[in-house]
Chain A
Amino acid sequence: MAASMATGFKRLKYPILFLIPPLLFLGTFYFYPLIKIVHLSFFSQGPWNSASLKTLFAAPFFLKMIWFTTWQAAVSTLLTFMFALPGAFIFARYDFFGKSFFRSLFTLPFVLPTVVVAAGFDALLAPQGLINGVLAPGLGLSGPLINLEGSIWIILAAHVFYNYAIVLRLTGGFLENIEPEIFEAAQTLGASPLKLFASIVFPILKPVLAASGLLVFIFCFSSFGVILLLGGTRFATIEVEIYRQAVHIFNLPAAAALSLIQIGFTFGIMWLYARIQRRHSIPLNPKPRLSRGQGHVPTTQNTTGERAMIAGHLILTSIFLGAPLLALLVGSFSGGDGPSFDFYRALGENRVDSVFFAPPLESMVISVKFALAATVMAVGLGIPGALFLSRTRGFLTAFFDPIFMLPLSTSAVTLGFGFIIAFDRPPLNLRNSAALIPAVHCLVAFPFVIRALLPAIRGVPNILRDAAAALGAPPLATWRAVDLPIIRRAVFTAAVFAFTISMGEFGAASFIARPGAPTIPVAIYRFLGQPGAMNYGQAMAMSCALMAATAAGFIFLDKTGSSRIGGL
């Protein structure tokens, strides 16, 4: 059997067979819900009755919400640039002690679940948060020094926090790949620093600035967890409004219409992004500049001024990115009087005043189970999918590769919403099935799994196979010695990706999770929504646990150098 597998990997007679499982899955769990959304928005009350839609679009809050969604995304993008561009320049142009450590540290926020980020900012800036806890008594104030809870500032701060890494890694990686000689050549040709920036640096960077800007914009535009947790009742993006319409008001046609608008926006922006990327061949995986041998100039020592600038940026960024996480930790360990493990201990108890029937620890078990199931599914579908893409060429690859990536450009909220309207009645009544969350998480993770597997499967060099064969290895031994180790590592990477994504996913789970069986992010959200120090503290403790799990996954991916898949 293994022998047939070996030849199967090498010469696939019918690659089309590998297409069937992923296509069936996408058809059922992606396209079918999408069709249901379209159907529900237009034909909810018989053929072409758009009365309820008209009411929706005519409502003043509707335009206000679209406007808010857009401008907060634009401002967040601008602020992210202001904050991250200096970092990108510093990381690309200077060598300093601990560079790769800081680069990883500054990327960590991007992989944290939105719920954790929101909880962190709440723990930092809320009236009872860390800053007020430390500063207000110190300054002798009776009330809180700052109260940003439910303000636009805390949302913007969380967005900058979350997206800093996109600009840092994309722009920085691009900048790093530009030979410094290009700038020096311009100088020798008479370009002063100002002219150098205007005629060389900026034009070269323009496409990557546009690309990373679009990415940040779309992430902020689709912001759900941050706004839902930090925005209070005053702020709603389209995503949040979909949730409210569907879950609170139960106006499904309105939610469907909003989902369509959201899908339209995201697809449009992702299309633009893909176009820029193709046209300017911005590398998705920025490669480190090749070390130059002969005639290489040793790196100039940083001057005192440069060192001060680097240190200043590192310190400020570390504070900004570290403070919310620190606040989480502090919040989770502080009892009524002084440090304690109370909140962690409480996670295992079934407290009477708890909003749950099950203790929070159970939601952790549920999350892990779901994540494992999603991982098995995503990898199980990703392997045939990647094999298919690696064995075909031309039209088939060009057509199906983007199809496999589609879930990436559809927000988790629309996916979750699509699930609840598609699978609540026959033919697919899965309303109470435990399989829904793993399915939606598998959908979210699927594009990442493909991207992790494909280069490895494509990249097994034939020359290695030939070398093994020339050394006398029969086909099976060759497959074992060459293909298997390379692919096995990629499969493991893909699995870590899928698992980490599933553990932190909130948008879709917030729709689908059954009341008695919440995932960790859903449980954190519910805890934060309840009054009482114990509920708040438990949210902090769970956030810390989730943060630790995500960080562990990220550190693994970062160490194996695979964290750059998918843009970073």
Chain B
Amino acid sequence: MTPILELSNICKWFGEKQALNHVDLSHKKGEILCLLGSSGSGKTTLLRVIAGLETPDAGRVCFDGQPMTGVKTWRRRFGMMFQEFALFPHKNVLENVGFGLKMEGKSHGAIQRRAKEMLALVGLDGFEKRDVASLSGGERQRAALARSLAPNPRLLLLDEPMGALDRTLRERLMIDLKEIIKTVGTTTLFVTHDQGEAFAISDRIAVMGQGEIKQNQTPENLYRRPASESVARFLGFKNIFPGVADQDGGAKTELGRLSPLPEKKRPGQDIMALIRPEAGRWMDHETLTLDEKSRFMEPVISGRVTQRLFRGTHYQTCLETEQGTCLHLDMASAPQVGESARVALLRDQVVLI
């Protein structure tokens, strides 16, 4: 399927600072694509360029084969939902949701019908006459979503749609948001700094940093194989060690020779070894099944426990190796702080990048 949205070579400067650096991106119809990155990575700027709220200094935005250059925001028919929702304070919920339809010149009856339909979709039936100031955070978010979906936009842009909500509310609304978008089937681009959100909602994730797209992958592949150290660190991985690849698909690192599942790396190539937190098993405390044993790699790493936090499902542990580096591992059980321990690593939980 040909992509419906295509960005090529987008550059944007704010004074001395380059916010977007030659960005190329394509997006398939009906999919949810997430722009994931920390603050200042350029993700919101990219979203605003697509919406036409910023003019790129170079590059082109194409939608459905049509170049968007020179097409004003109000003619693009893209829906956008803002972080603080930006509901019109002088209009009630129904008037907010109906605003886009009114701009299209729809009749009063059609506006009423469609707006009510959208409110029902987001679970706000009965809120028509309510003042937006009286809505809770979650209700505002729903109203904003209904407003951006009502004119049936060709593309839905969401800027940190959960950013203004508290943790528990987020979890619930995340699921609802995905369901609603999938029901309507709108092609969606959404910006977040929260990888949990990105993994839960997206069909694809584009990780952004320093105004560039660092990696564009499905959530599963992104988690399994981050393309670079910076992506891995952004995803929250802590055990990343530089090393050199060898002929047998392993690598030499400060922890010794690691032999994960064979990788296509050129011998002598500089690599990063990523050890997932769930990779470790205690050699002295746990009995390993035969099957598991074959899944472990040499060497067994020994060290001293310097941190042990109980996290409900696991212990968040820090093992200081003899070389003085720290290995962060999530373990089912853990010795006390200060005790020595030996740990073996699961082959399939170690990746060379």
**Interfacial residues, chain A to chain B (CB-CB below 8 A):** 178-179, 181-182, 184-192, 195-196, 199-200, 203-204, 293-301
Question: Are B48's CB and A181's CB within 8 A?
Answer: no
Of A188, A203, A294, A299, which contacts B80 at CB under 8 A?
A: A188
Q: Is B251 an interface residue (CB 8 A)?
A: no
How far apart are the CA atoms of A185 and B96 in the complex, in Å?
10
Q: Is B82 an interface residue (CB 8 A)?
A: yes
Name the B residues within 8 Å of A182 (CB-CB). Answer: 86-89
Of B17, B44, B48, B89, which contacts A204 at CB under 8 A?
A: B89
With known contacts A294-B193, A298-B14, A301-B14, A189–B89 Cβ distance under 8 A:
no
Question: Are A195's CB and B148's CB within 8 A?
Answer: no
B1-9, B98-106, B300-308, B314-322 - interface stretch: B98-106
Of A179, A190, A196, A299, which contacts B151 at CB under 8 A?
A: A190
Question: Are B99's CB and A297's CB within 8 A?
Answer: no
How far apart are the CA atoms of A469 and B240 in the complex, in Å?
49
Name the B residues within 8 Å of A204 (CB-CB). Answer: 88-90
Name A297's closest neighbour in chain B (CB-CB). Answer: B44
Nearest chain A CB to B334's CB is how many angstroms away? Answer: 34
27 sample A-B contacts, Cβ–Cβ < 8 Å, listed by A number: A181-B86, A182-B87, A182-B89, A185-B86, A186-B88, A187-B52, A188-B51, A188-B53, A188-B78, A189-B99, A189-B148, A190-B74, A190-B75, A191-B99, A195-B103, A196-B74, A199-B99, A200-B88, A204-B88, A204-B89, A204-B90, A293-B39, A294-B39, A294-B193, A295-B44, A297-B44, A298-B45
Question: Are A188's CB and B90's CB within 8 A?
Answer: no
Question: Are B53's CB and A187's CB within 8 A?
Answer: yes
Question: Are B44's CB and A188's CB within 8 A?
Answer: no
Question: Are B17's CB and A184's CB within 8 A?
Answer: no
How far apart are the CA atoms of A226 and B44 in the complex, in Å?
53
Of A179, A191, A199, A293, which contacts B86 at CB under 8 A?
A: A179
How far apart are the CA atoms of A179 and B15 in the complex, in Å?
23
How far apart are the CA atoms of A185 and B44 in the complex, in Å?
15
Q: What number of A-B contacts does a CB cutoff of 8 Å give?
A: 99
Nearest chain A CB to B303's CB is how many angstroms away? Answer: 37
Q: Is B212 an interface residue (CB 8 A)?
A: no
Nearest chain A CB to B90's CB is how many angstroms away? Answer: 5
How far apart are the CA atoms of A189 and B99 in the complex, in Å?
7
Question: Are B159's CB and A295's CB within 8 A?
Answer: yes
How far apart are the CA atoms of A187 and B74 in the complex, in Å?
5
Nearest chain B CB to A206's CB is how many angstroms away? Answer: 8
Q: Is B335 an interface residue (CB 8 A)?
A: no
How far apart are the CA atoms of A296 and B163 in the complex, in Å?
11
Name B41's closest neighbour in chain A (CB-CB). Answer: A295
How far apart are the CA atoms of A296 and B38 in the complex, in Å?
11
Q: Is B210 an interface residue (CB 8 A)?
A: no
How far apart are the CA atoms of A203 and B89 in the complex, in Å?
10
Name B83's closest neighbour in chain A (CB-CB). Answer: A295
How far apart are the CA atoms of A196 and B89 in the complex, in Å?
14
**Interfacial residues, chain B to chain A (CB-CB below 8 A):** 14-15, 17, 19, 39, 43-45, 48, 51-54, 72-80, 82-84, 86-90, 99-100, 102-104, 147-148, 151, 157, 159-160, 163, 191, 193
Name the B residues within 8 Å of A187 (CB-CB). Answer: 52-53, 72-74
Question: Are A300's CB and B88's CB within 8 A?
Answer: no
List 3 tightest A-B contacts by C-beta distance, closest first: A190-B103, A189-B100, A181-B86
Name B95's closest neighbour in chain A (CB-CB). Answer: A199
Name the A residues within 8 Å of B74 (CB-CB). Answer: 187-192, 195-196
Name A187's closest neighbour in chain B (CB-CB). Answer: B73
How far apart are the CA atoms of A185 and B15 in the complex, in Å?
25
Nearest chain A CB to B170's CB is how many angstroms away? Answer: 14
Of A185, A293, A294, which contacts B82 at CB under 8 A?
A: A185
Name the B residues within 8 Å of A188 (CB-CB). Answer: 51, 53, 73-74, 76, 78-80, 148, 157
Question: Are A298's CB and B147's CB within 8 A?
Answer: no
Nearest chain A CB to B102's CB is how many angstroms away? Answer: 8
Nearest chain A CB to B130's CB is how many angstroms away? Answer: 18
Name the B residues within 8 Å of A191 (CB-CB). Answer: 74, 99, 103
With known contacts A293-B39, A298-B14, A298-B17, A184–B82 Cβ distance under 8 A:
yes
Name the B residues within 8 Å of A189 (CB-CB). Answer: 74, 79, 99-100, 103, 147-148, 151
Name A206's closest neighbour in chain B (CB-CB). Answer: B90
Nearest chain A CB to B94's CB is how many angstroms away? Answer: 14
Name the B residues within 8 Å of A301 (CB-CB). Answer: 14-15
Question: Are A184's CB and B103's CB within 8 A?
Answer: no
Name the A residues within 8 Å of B100 (CB-CB). Answer: 189-190
How far apart are the CA atoms of A369 and B27 in the complex, in Å?
76
How far apart are the CA atoms of A185 and B193 in the complex, in Å?
21
Name the B residues within 8 Å of A192 (CB-CB). Answer: 72, 74
How far apart are the CA atoms of A199 and B102 in the complex, in Å?
10
Question: Are B160's CB and A295's CB within 8 A?
Answer: yes
With known contacts A195-B103, A295-B193, A298-B17, A190–B77 Cβ distance under 8 A:
yes
With known contacts A187-B53, A204-B89, A295–B73 Cβ distance under 8 A:
no
How far apart are the CA atoms of A300 and B49 in the complex, in Å?
12
Nearest chain B CB to A43's CB is how many angstroms away? Answer: 50
How far apart are the CA atoms of A182 and B103 in the complex, in Å?
15
Of A179, A196, A299, which contacts B84 at CB under 8 A?
A: A179
Name the A residues within 8 Å of B83 (CB-CB). Answer: 181, 294-295
Nearest chain B CB to A538's CB is how many angstroms away? Answer: 52
Nearest chain A CB to B39's CB is how many angstroms away? Answer: 5
Nearest chain A CB to B87's CB is how many angstroms away? Answer: 8
How far apart are the CA atoms of A203 and B53 in the complex, in Å?
23
Name the A residues within 8 Å of B72 (CB-CB). Answer: 187, 192
Nearest chain A CB to B68's CB is how many angstroms away? Answer: 13
With known contacts A187-B73, A190-B74, A297–B104 Cβ distance under 8 A:
no
Name the B residues within 8 Å of A179 (CB-CB). Answer: 84, 86
With known contacts A188-B73, A188-B80, A200-B88, A295–B103 Cβ distance under 8 A:
no
Name B79's closest neighbour in chain A (CB-CB). Answer: A188
Question: Are B45's CB and A184's CB within 8 A?
Answer: no
How far apart are the CA atoms of A189 and B19 in the complex, in Å?
26
Name A202's closest neighbour in chain B (CB-CB). Answer: B90
How far apart are the CA atoms of A173 and B90 in the complex, in Å?
18
Nearest chain B CB to A201's CB is how many angstroms away? Answer: 10
Nearest chain B CB to A282's CB is how many angstroms away? Answer: 12
Name the A residues within 8 Å of B191 (CB-CB). Answer: 295
Nearest chain A CB to B340's CB is how many angstroms away? Answer: 42
How far apart are the CA atoms of A405 and B86 in the complex, in Å?
36
Name the A residues within 8 Å of B88 (CB-CB). Answer: 182, 185-186, 200, 204
Name the A residues within 8 Å of B52 (CB-CB). Answer: 187
Name B77's closest neighbour in chain A (CB-CB). Answer: A190
Name the B residues within 8 Å of A298 (CB-CB). Answer: 14, 17, 19, 45
Nearest chain A CB to B78's CB is how many angstroms away? Answer: 6
Name the A residues within 8 Å of B14 (CB-CB). Answer: 298-301
Name A300's closest neighbour in chain B (CB-CB). Answer: B54
How far apart are the CA atoms of A185 and B19 in the complex, in Å?
22
Name the A residues within 8 Å of B82 (CB-CB). Answer: 181, 184-185
